[in-house]
């Protein structure tokens, strides 16, 4: 039985399985990761760090590729839209 | 059936495009020939800073004339040109450079260019990411920034609308005696030929002295509001003056996308376009000295470009020494974007036999024959 | 300023997917120092993503077990952005890592080819491998309706996996023709290790509709995907779904091999029988040498590992096994060529470059990738063209231009750490 971790996405608490990436936490929260240059809401596409659609701010640091960052307890995740 | 061109312009970079528009606007039939696609050369690598410079009367005259011309066109530019009247902020690191600030201020004021001296606090208010303490700076609000490839394309489109023809992907093998001959043998005859071929200009007009001066640029991801002006260190002038050594100077530009363009470097005898890690590092370290926060920004791309440079740092605008029907419009070093529009006016005046708006002598190619050869 | 770490390995392996893991372990047998560098937080690459820490035993467990017991030093979260003679520069969250090596094995894997169609930028339209990667990274899809589309055996793997995780896979839309698909199945059955796998797939997928001559035409939704319109043997229909997992086969990650100066052959890294590239001392294994799947990647990795440590005999022993699995490369190429209709999916306003929001019609104005980049800005964003350039290549036939550092966006400060490198090979 794997443990779960709680993080906050845009202030909302989200519970994910231990070993989950931040991108998954954002997806699970129902939020989108970013807004494109013409205003489209975007979510991750490639899952492997090449598309850059998954960029969010993690613990205050902006533009992190969330599909390559593992969730840690109490992480603060802010999306750009 | 197209009537033959009256002027053939070799090169569809910013200078060729500007000439095409100016000549077409005067009613001449223009044919532009580019070996690749428009802005494939130096224009595509350029920073796009439109700046009034005062290193010499001749440099001031042409940059000022041209800057006014850019300003006059500003309402016509589509968004792709990214025209941004952000102004230049020259920053002084020490008292010696502050003296240069005051000299520049006086120089510009005497010549009707609006400028403002900023003290140490004011310069940081103008650009909060500049490190303290700096001695001060000079703000020149009339300078601006464009995105060169789209600016050149815009000029070319306007030229086309006035009847100019543009041929791309066709290298020109030789020009002279009223003829431009393509590498594939096709021949175009024209009363005048404008050599706006940038780096390749000496190949087409042997005897003119233009050497490539390699530069590096870094562009970051989008950080809106990080930078307000094009910020340049006054030490830049020392860098641009040096004829022999490799040098770097702090020079950053905000793009309308919110990306920051970081430069600049100058290298001689470096004809390889590969990124040179060591001068890139020096360039960035210099930038971090003035603006430490740049170090945290995400760099998306690094590229190199070649400024076509003449020994006296003034462009060649006028008849080629060998053949008066060939007009050279090349050798603009780091001021190609700025002075392209004025270059076009001067070329046009010479072709039409009209009086140019500024004295043409300093830019005539014939001066290079008179001068000693420089490396 | 970032700290700079210096690491030195006799053999550096870039990419901790199956090929890289196999290469590192084979090389470790020699007793030399081996470094395995990957940009993800854990090893496994794409196909074994999330398996490293999983308690559930799987095919990869044996490999991870061996890796844990070996002397291989795993350098995680390190993104290689520059290569020069004998040295790599990688960036991690808080430092720059300069890695000097005696021999280099490139196992950089592959990524999916995305072809633009109206609505492909909607949230919850993902790659096929992309969706699988997210599920392996913790995404819950139980009860979710999924349409899997595109081409290649990856679709089957994704559909089977999603189904096992409790999702409702509504159908698999495979763009290849029915005869090609059938021939593919038959040929795979003839490869010893593959027959069992093929039968397992057929069983797992028995209740999921599989449609050939079928591809997505458009995706619709308000803030996220709600409906997919598919074309199936000339007819369109609409399917309500939660996720569209869509990928048109795999393309090799060639950026680092090209920066190292490795020659390409038919758009893959050219290697000799010992997996050595055109650059002496640099080897390449796995998808960058040819898309051939897991088993081929493993054996190529092993050969490269032995060859890099001068154990040619052991490498030679694996040649026959590799030859068997190499058949897969050809089979895949024959079975899943992209059909021309896919070039017409994009409308004029369909975005091709997602980083810069450049629509198809702006690309049409240009005759080359370089011109399109300079004038329309496609490929000028943070993905550096990884998503849009292959699409542009397919749509317009453009050759994509040369590779320059940094291979990935890096902090400006990281570029300063490059100054101690010698000049790169061209």
Over the stretch B138-168, which tens digit does the pLDDT of each residue have?
Answer: 999 999 999 999 999 999 999 999 999 999 9
Asked if pLDDT for residue C411 goes beyond 80, the answer is yes
Residue B290, C-beta contacts closer than 8 angstroms, at least 6 positions apart = B91, B93, B130, B131, B134, B231, B233, B250
**Separation CA C294–CA C153 (nearest Å):** 12
pLDDT score at B372: 53
Over the stretch C161-176, which tens digit does the pLDDT of each residue have?
Answer: 999 999 999 999 999 9
Whether A63 sits inside 8 A of B221 (CB atoms) is: yes
Cα B43 to the center of its chain, rounded Å: 8
Whether B221 sits inside 8 A of A37 (CB atoms) is: no
- Bond before C339 cis per omega within 30 degrees: no
- Same domain? For C223 and C261 the reply is no
Q: What is the mean pLDDT of residues A34-39?
A: 94
Whether C381 sits inside 8 A of B300 (CB atoms) is: yes
Number of Cβ within 10 Å of residue C414's Cβ equals 28
Which residues in C lie closer than 8 A to residue B280 (C-beta atoms)?
Answer: 415, 418-419
What sign does the CA torsion over C215, C220, C225, C228 have?
negative
**Separation CA B104–CA B90 (nearest Å):** 10
Using only C-alpha atoms, what is the Rg of chain B? Answer: 20
What angle, 0 to 180 degrees and rounded to 10, lies between the N-to-C axes of helices B14-25 and B336-352? Answer: 40
Q: What is the mean pLDDT of residues B356-369?
A: 94
Chains sharing 3 or more CB pairs under 8 A with chain A: B, C
Whether B296 sits inside 8 A of C412 (CB atoms) is: yes
**Separation CA B45–CA C373 (nearest Å):** 12
pLDDT score at B243: 60
Cα B17 to the center of its chain, rounded Å: 13
- CA angle, C334 then C335 then C339, to 5°: 95
Residue B39, C-beta contacts closer than 8 angstroms, at least 6 positions apart = B12, B13, B14, B148, B149, B152, B153, C374, C375
What angle, 0 to 180 degrees and rounded to 10, lies between the N-to-C axes of helices A22-29 and C128-136? Answer: 100
Residue C312, phi then psi, degrees to nearest 5:
-60, -35
- Same domain? For C174 and C287 the reply is no
Please, are residues C7 and C30 in contact by the beta-carbon 8 Å criterion?
Answer: no
Share of chain B above pLDDT 70, in %: 95
Whether C137 sits inside 8 A of A2 (CB atoms) is: no
Domain with C145, as residue range(s), is: 114-248
- Largest alpha-carbon pair distance within chain C? 61
pLDDT score at A3: 87
pLDDT score at B241: 59
C425 is a domain residue: no
Q: How far is A74 from chain C (nearest CA, A)?
A: 17
Q: Cα dihedral angle (B344, B348, B350, B354), rounded to 10 degrees?
A: -130
The answer to whether residue A4 neighbours chain C at the CB level (below 8 Å) is: no
pLDDT score at B236: 67
Number of Cβ within 10 Å of residue B58's Cβ equals 18
pLDDT score at B52: 98
Using only C-alpha atoms, what is the Rg of chain A? Answer: 12
What angle, 0 to 180 degrees and rounded to 10, lies between the N-to-C axes of helices B148-161 and C369-376? Answer: 100
Cα C299 to the center of its chain, rounded Å: 18
Q: How far is CA B345 from CA B247, B342, B364, in A?
A: 33, 5, 14
Please, are residues C151 and C113 in contact by the beta-carbon 8 Å criterion?
Answer: no
Grade residue C230 by pLDDT with cuts at 50, 70 and 90.
very high
Q: Name the residue in chain A with its Cα closest to that of C124.
A: A43
> Fold identical between B7-47+148-210+312-370 and B85-143+211-309?
no
pLDDT score at C423: 42
Please tell me the least confidently modeled range out of B238-247, C217-226, C398-407: B238-247
Over the stretch C269-287, which tens digit does the pLDDT of each residue have?
Answer: 999 999 999 999 999 999 9
Q: What is the total count of domains within chain A?
A: 1
**Separation CA B315–CA B343 (nearest Å):** 9
Q: How far is B71 from chain C (nearest CA, A)?
A: 22
Spell out where B151-238 has E strands. Answer: 165-167, 172-176, 179-182, 187-189, 192-195, 211-222, 230-233
Instruction: Kindly state the tokens that stand for C53.
Output: 């820490």
ipTM over 0.85? The verdict is: yes
Instruction: Kindly state the tokens that stand for B118.
Output: 């900023």
Number of Cβ within 10 Å of residue C312's Cβ equals 13
pLDDT score at C119: 98
Mutation target among C82, C416, C423, C424 for the B interface, most CBs of B within 10 A: C416
C423 is a domain residue: no
Q: Name the residue in chain B with its Cα closest to that of A37.
A: B257
Asked if pLDDT for residue A27 goes beyond 90, the answer is yes
Please, are residues B38 and B27 in contact by the beta-carbon 8 Å criterion?
Answer: no
Domain end (from C248, C282, C302): C248
* B81 DSSP assignment: G
Asked if pLDDT for residue A1 goes beyond 60, the answer is no
Whether B280 sits inside 8 A of C417 (CB atoms) is: no
**Separation CA B41–CA B247 (nearest Å):** 22
**Separation CA A17–CA B140 (nearest Å):** 57
**Separation CA C149–CA B256 (nearest Å):** 38
Over the stretch C36-49, which tens digit does the pLDDT of each residue have?
Answer: 999 999 999 999 98
Mean pLDDT value across chain C: 93
Number of Cβ within 10 Å of residue C235's Cβ equals 8
pLDDT score at C420: 61
Q: What is the mean pLDDT of residues C108-124?
A: 97
* Range B233-265 burial, b when 16+ CB lie within 10 A, else e: bbbbbebbeeeeebbbbbbbbbbbbebbbbbbb
- Same domain? For C133 and C91 the reply is no
- Same domain? For C296 and C353 the reply is no
- Same domain? For C73 and C123 the reply is no
Instruction: Kindly state the tokens that stand for C39.
Output: 């940009």
**Separation CA B145–CA B151 (nearest Å):** 10
Asked if pLDDT for residue C208 goes beyond 50, the answer is yes
Query: Tokens 């294994």 correspond to what residue?
Result: C285
Chains sharing 3 or more CB pairs under 8 A with chain C: A, B
Whether B257 sits inside 8 A of A63 (CB atoms) is: no
3-class SS at C41? Answer: coil
Please, are residues B92 and B139 in contact by the beta-carbon 8 Å criterion?
Answer: no
pLDDT score at B371: 66
- Same domain? For C98 and C118 the reply is no
- Same domain? For C77 and C34 the reply is yes
Q: What is the total count of domains within chain C?
A: 3
Grade residue C426 by pLDDT with cuts at 50, 70 and 90.
very low
Cα B363 to the center of its chain, rounded Å: 15
pLDDT score at B321: 87
Which residues in B lie closer than 8 A to residue A63 (C-beta atoms)?
Answer: 221, 298
Over the stretch C284-298, which tens digit does the pLDDT of each residue have?
Answer: 999 999 999 999 999
Q: How far is A5 from chain C (nearest CA, A)?
A: 11
Over the stretch B205-235, which tens digit does the pLDDT of each residue have?
Answer: 998 999 999 999 999 999 999 999 999 999 8
Q: Checking DSSP bridges between strand C168-174 and strand C145-151, what pairing results, if any?
A: parallel
Domain end (from C333, C362, C388): C333
Mutation target among C125, C134, C248 for the A interface, most CBs of A within 10 A: C134
Please, are residues C163 and C141 in contact by the beta-carbon 8 Å criterion?
Answer: no
- Same domain? For C146 and C241 the reply is yes
Asked if pLDDT for residue B369 goes beyond 90, the answer is no
**Separation CA A18–CA C334 (nearest Å):** 41
Residue C163, C-beta contacts closer than 8 angstroms, at least 6 positions apart = C169, C204, C205, C208
pLDDT score at C402: 76
Over the stretch C16-34, which tens digit does the pLDDT of each residue have?
Answer: 999 999 999 999 999 999 9
Asked if pLDDT for residue C53 goes beyond 80, the answer is no
Share of chain B above pLDDT 90, in %: 90
Asked if pLDDT for residue C418 goes beyond 90, the answer is no
Chains sharing 3 or more CB pairs under 8 A with chain B: A, C
Please tell me the least confidently modeled range out of B39-53, B247-261, C389-403: C389-403
The answer to whether residue A43 neighbours chain C at the CB level (below 8 Å) is: yes
pLDDT score at C315: 97
Residue B47, phi then psi, degrees to nearest 5:
-80, -35
Q: How far is B257 from chain A (nearest CA, A)?
A: 9
Q: Which of A44, A55, A68 sits opposite C126 (nearest CB)?
A: A44
Over the stretch C326-370, which tens digit does the pLDDT of each residue have?
Answer: 999 999 999 999 999 999 999 999 999 999 999 999 999 999 999
> Any long-range contacts for C268-274 (C-beta under 8 Å, 24+ apart)?
C269/C106, C273/C319, C274/C303, C274/C304, C274/C307, C274/C312, C274/C315
Residue B330, C-beta contacts closer than 8 angstroms, at least 6 positions apart = B11, B15, B195, B196, B197, B198, B201, B208, B210, B308, B315, B316
Over the stretch B30-59, which tens digit does the pLDDT of each residue have?
Answer: 999 999 999 999 999 999 999 999 999 999
Q: How far is CA C223 from CA A24, A81, B218, B305, C227, in A?
A: 18, 11, 35, 43, 12
C141 is a domain residue: yes
Domain B7-47+148-210+312-370 superfamily per CATH: FAD/NAD(P)-binding domain (3.50.50.60)
Which chain C residues in 318-337 lie under 8 Å from chain A, judged by CB atoms? Answer: none
Query: Tokens 């992480």 correspond to what residue?
Result: A75
Give the architecture-level CATH label for domain B85-143+211-309.
2-Layer Sandwich (3.30)
Domain end (from C215, C248, C281): C248
Annotated domain spans of chain B: 7-47+148-210+312-370, 85-143+211-309
Q: How far is A35 from chain C (nearest CA, A)?
A: 10
Over the stretch C137-162, which tens digit does the pLDDT of each residue have?
Answer: 999 999 999 999 999 999 999 999 99
- Same domain? For C124 and C52 the reply is no
What angle, 0 to 180 degrees and rounded to 10, lies between the N-to-C axes of helices C293-308 and C18-28? Answer: 30
- Same domain? For C233 and C118 the reply is yes
Domain with residue C135: its CATH number is 3.50.50.60
């Amino acid at each position: 039985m794997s443990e779960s971790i709680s993080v906050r996405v845009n202030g909302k608490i989200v519970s994910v399985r231990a070993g989950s990436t931040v991108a998954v936490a954002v997806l699970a929260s129902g939020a989108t990761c970013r807004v494109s240059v013409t205003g489209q809401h975007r979510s991750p596409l490639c899952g492997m760090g090449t598309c850059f659609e998954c960029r969010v701010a993690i613990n205050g640091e902006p533009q992190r590729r969330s599909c390559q960052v593992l969730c840690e307890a109490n992480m603060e995740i802010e999306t750009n839209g | 059936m197209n009537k033959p061109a009256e002027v053939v312009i070799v090169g569809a970079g910013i200078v060729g495009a500007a000439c095409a528009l100016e000549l077409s606007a005067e009613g001449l039939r223009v044919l532009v020939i580019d070996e690749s696609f428009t802005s494939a050369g130096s224009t595509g690598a350029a920073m796009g800073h439109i700046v009034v410079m005062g290193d010499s009367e001749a440099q001031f005259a042409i940059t000022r004339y041209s800057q006014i011309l850019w300003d006059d066109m500003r309402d016509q530019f589509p968004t792709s040109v990214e025209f941004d009247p952000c102004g230049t902020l020259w920053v002084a690191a020490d008292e010696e450079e502050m003296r240069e600030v005051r000299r520049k201020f006086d120089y510009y004021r005497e010549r009707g260019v609006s400028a403002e001296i900023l003290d140490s606090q004011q310069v940081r208010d103008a650009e909060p990411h500049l490190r303290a303490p700096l001695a001060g700076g000079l703000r020149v609000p009339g300078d601006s920034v464009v995105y060169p490839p789209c600016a050149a394309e815009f000029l070319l489109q306007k030229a086309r609308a006035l009847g100019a023809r543009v041929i791309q992907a066709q290298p020109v093998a030789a020009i002279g005696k009223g003829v431009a001959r393509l590498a594939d043998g096709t021949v175009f005859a024209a009363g005048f030929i404008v050599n706006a071929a940038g780096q390749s200009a000496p190949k087409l007009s042997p005897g003119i002295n233009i050497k490539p001066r390699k530069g590096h640029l870094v562009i970051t991801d989008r950080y809106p509001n990080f930078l307000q002006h094009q910020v340049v260190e006054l030490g830049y002038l020392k860098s641009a003056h040096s004829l022999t050594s490799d040098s770097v100077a702090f020079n950053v530009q905000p793009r309308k996308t919110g990306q920051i363009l970081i430069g600049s470097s100058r290298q001689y005898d470096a004809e390889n376009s590969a990124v040179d890690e060591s001068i890139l590092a020096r360039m960035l370290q210099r930038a971090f000295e003035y603006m430490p926060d740049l170090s945290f920004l995400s760099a998306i791309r690094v590229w190199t470009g070649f400024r076509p440079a003449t020994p006296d740092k003034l462009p060649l605008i006028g008849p080629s020494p060998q053949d008066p029907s060939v007009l050279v419009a090349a050798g603009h070093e780091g001021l190609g974007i700025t002075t392209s529009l004025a270059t076009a006016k001067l070329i046009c005046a010479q072709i039409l036999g009209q009086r140019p708006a500024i004295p043409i002598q300093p830019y005539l190619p014939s001066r290079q024959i008179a001068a000693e050869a420089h490396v | 300023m970032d700290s700079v770490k210096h690491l030195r390995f006799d053999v550096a392996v870039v990419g901790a997917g199956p090929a890289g893991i196999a290469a590192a372990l084979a090389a470790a047998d020699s007793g030399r120092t081996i470094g395995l560098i990957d940009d993800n937080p854990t090893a496994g690459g794409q196909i074994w993503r999330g398996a490293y820490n999983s308690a559930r035993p799987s095919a990869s467990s044996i490999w991870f077990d061996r890796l844990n017991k070996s002397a291989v030093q795993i350098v995680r979260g390190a993104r290689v952005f520059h290569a020069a003679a004998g040295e790599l520069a990688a960036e991690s969250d808080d430092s720059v890592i300069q890695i000097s090596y005696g021999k280099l094995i490139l196992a950089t894997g592959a990524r999916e080819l995305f072809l633009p169609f109206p609505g492909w930028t909607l949230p919850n339209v993902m790659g096929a491998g992309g969706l699988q990667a997210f599920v392996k990274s913790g995404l819950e899809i139980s009860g979710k309706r999924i349409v899997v589309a595109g081409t290649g055996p990856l679709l089957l793997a994704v559909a089977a996996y999603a189904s096992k995780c409790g999702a409702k896979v509504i159908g698999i839309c495979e763009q290849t023709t029915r005869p090609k698909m059938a021939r593919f199945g038959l040929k795979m059955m003839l490869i010893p290790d593959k027959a069992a796998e093929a039968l397992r797939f057929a069983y797992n997928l028995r209740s999921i509709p599989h449609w050939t001559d079928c591809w997505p035409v458009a995706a619709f939704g308000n803030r996220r995907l709600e409906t997919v319109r598919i074309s199936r043997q000339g007819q369109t229909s609409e399917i309500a779904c939660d996720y569209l997992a869509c990928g048109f086969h795999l393309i090799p990650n060639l950026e680092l091999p090209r920066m190292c100066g490795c020659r390409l052959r038919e758009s893959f890294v050219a290697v000799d029988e010992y997996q050595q590239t055109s650059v002496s001392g640099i080897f390449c294994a796995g998808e960058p040498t040819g898309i051939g799947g897991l088993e081929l990647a493993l054996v190529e990795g092993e050969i490269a590992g032995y060859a890099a440590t001068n154990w040619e005999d052991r490498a030679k022993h694996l040649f026959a096994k590799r030859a068997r699995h190499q058949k897969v490369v050809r089979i895949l190429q024959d079975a899943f060529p992209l059909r021309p209709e896919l070039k017409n999916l994009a409308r004029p306003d369909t975005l091709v470059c997602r980083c810069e929001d450049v629509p198809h019609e702006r690309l049409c104005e240009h005759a080359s990738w370089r011109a399109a980049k300079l004038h329309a800005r496609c490929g000028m964003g943070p993905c550096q063209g990884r998503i849009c350039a292959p699409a542009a290549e397919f749509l317009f036939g453009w050759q994509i231009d040369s590779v320059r550092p940094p291979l990935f966006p890096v902090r400006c400060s990281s570029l300063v750490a490059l100054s101690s490198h010698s000049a790169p090979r061209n």
